[in-house]
């Protein structure tokens, strides 16, 4: 496959983050109102449907079902799958404790900071002062954008820890994927990761004894979540990570709350204050700056 340029890699990562921005919009429709579907069930259904699609895609590309990976690569992918599952568990456990707004805020805003630290230790990535400033400004923009929303949920320390743990899990997923992305096919990587995540999340659901009624499942919405912001977006993200540094990629994922906010304003009739709009502008400008910085 033809190698990507730095710009093409960042474009793919940014596109993936843009597609992820629709997840909150769809989950809000499914988990609210009369459906009231358990978000963890949505997460499990998302990856469980995505996994076989990815394996079929892998089969079409390689001509076989099997994979040729070293033991070290398999261990990295299994770890990434477990971390991806733990991300969902911690994130959804945090929501009832701190509310959706602050769960998103703590999760997404801490991920780039964790990624910067982990990538420095695990991947020996350089950290520039300008990069630190760009990430800090992007996080500040995200805080201003999302943090103006008031919530009636009483925030507790356990919920804060869970939301931050979700950010740590996502940062770890980025670094693990970055470690293997230059050497392995993006579709194969995600087929293994989604399979492991589906098994872990399925086990958690069985342990919580969550009841599932097939006739109540919105299959069209789940199919969208599986195909677009999961199969397509994570393959794009992994492909981009073959050339984009983990810290830069984690920073670009802050596009997700920006897109989510735009969708909420456009389709859910939510209102943004002037301060929130300024936060959106600061976030967008900082992401452009972070993307232009070289490692």
pLDDT at 149 over 60: no
pLDDT at 279 over 60: yes
Question: Is residue 283 assigned to a domain?
Answer: yes
Mean per-residue pLDDT, 126-152: 72
Q: Residue 72 class from Cβ within 10 Å (0-12 exposed, 13-18 middle, 19+ buried)?
A: exposed
**For the whole prediction, is pTM greater than 0.75?**
yes
Q: Look at the chain and count its residues.
A: 295
Question: Is residue 209 assigned to a domain?
Answer: yes
Sign of torsion, CA 124 129 133 134? negative
Question: Is residue 1 assigned to a domain?
Answer: no
What is the domain range of residue 30? 6-292
In this structure, of 54-58, 74-78, 154-158, 177-181, the range with the lowest mean pLDDT score is 154-158
Number of domains in the chain: 1
Q: What is the pLDDT of residues 62-118, one digit of tens each?
A: 899 988 889 999 999 999 999 999 998 898 888 777 766 677 777 887 888 888 889
pLDDT at 34 over 60: no
Degrees, nearest 5: CA angle 163-96-38 = 105
pLDDT at residue 272, rounded to an integer:
63
Question: Is residue 93 assigned to a domain?
Answer: yes
- Distance from C-alpha of 242 to C-alpha of 269, rounded to nearest angstrom: 38
pLDDT at 211 over 90: no
pLDDT at residue 216, rounded to an integer:
64
pLDDT at 269 over 70: no
The token pair that represents 276 in the structure block: 């929130």
The token pair that represents 25 in the structure block: 């919009």
- Distance from C-alpha of 195 to C-alpha of 206, rounded to nearest angstrom: 17
* Arithmetic mean of pLDDT over the chain: 82
Answer yes or no: are the C-beta atoms of 255 and 17 closer than 8 Å: yes
Counting residues of the chain whose pLDDT is more than 70, the rounded percentage is 82
pLDDT at 182 over 60: yes
pLDDT at residue 100, rounded to an integer:
65
Answer yes or no: are the C-beta atoms of 245 and 294 closer than 8 Å: no
Mean per-residue pLDDT, 222-240: 94
- Which residues are CB-contacts of 293 (< 8 A; sequence separation ≥ 6)? 128, 130, 131, 134, 248
Question: Is residue 125 assigned to a domain?
Answer: yes
Q: At what angle do helices 71-98 and 100-122 cross, to 10 degrees?
A: 150
Sign of torsion, CA 102 236 230 208? negative
Long-range CB pairs of 86-89 (<8 Å, 24+ gap) are 86/165, 86/169, 86/200, 87/166, 87/169, 87/170, 87/173, 88/40, 88/43, 88/44, 88/197, 88/201, 89/40, 89/201, 89/204
């Amino acid at each position: 496959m033809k190698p990507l340029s730095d710009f093409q890699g960042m474009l793919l990562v940014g596109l993936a983050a843009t597609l992820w921005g629709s997840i909150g919009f769809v989950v809000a429709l499914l988990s609210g109102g009369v459906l009231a579907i358990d978000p963890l069930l949505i997460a499990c259904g998302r990856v469980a449907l995505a996994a076989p699609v990815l394996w079929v895609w892998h089969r079409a590309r390689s001509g076989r079902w099997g994979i040729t990976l070293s033991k070290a690569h398999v261990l990295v992918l299994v770890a990434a799958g477990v971390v991806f599952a733990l991300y969902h568990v911690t994130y959804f456990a945090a929501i009832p404790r701190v509310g959706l707004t602050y769960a998103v805020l703590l999760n997404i805003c801490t991920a780039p900071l964790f990624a910067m630290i982990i990538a420095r230790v695990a991947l020996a990535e350089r950290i520039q002062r300008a990069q630190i400033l760009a990430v800090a400004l992007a996080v500040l923009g995200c805080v201003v954008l999302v943090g103006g929303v008031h919530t009636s949920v009483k925030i507790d320390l356990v919920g804060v820890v869970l939301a931050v743990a979700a950010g740590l899990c996502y940062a770890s997923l980025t670094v693990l994927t970055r470690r293997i992305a230059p050497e392995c096919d993006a579709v194969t990587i995600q087929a293994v990761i989604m399979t492991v995540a589906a098994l872990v999340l399925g086990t958690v659901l069985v342990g919580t004894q969550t009841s599932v009624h097939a006739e109540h499942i919105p299959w069209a919405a789940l199919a969208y979540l599986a195909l677009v912001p999961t199969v397509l977006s994570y393959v794009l993200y992994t492909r981009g990570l073959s050339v984009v540094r983990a810290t830069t990629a984690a920073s670009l994922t802050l596009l997700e709350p920006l897109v989510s906010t735009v969708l909420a304003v456009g389709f859910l009739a939510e209102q943004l204050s002037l301060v929130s709009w300024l936060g959106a502008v600061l976030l967008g400008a900082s992401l452009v700056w972070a993307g232009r910085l070289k490692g």
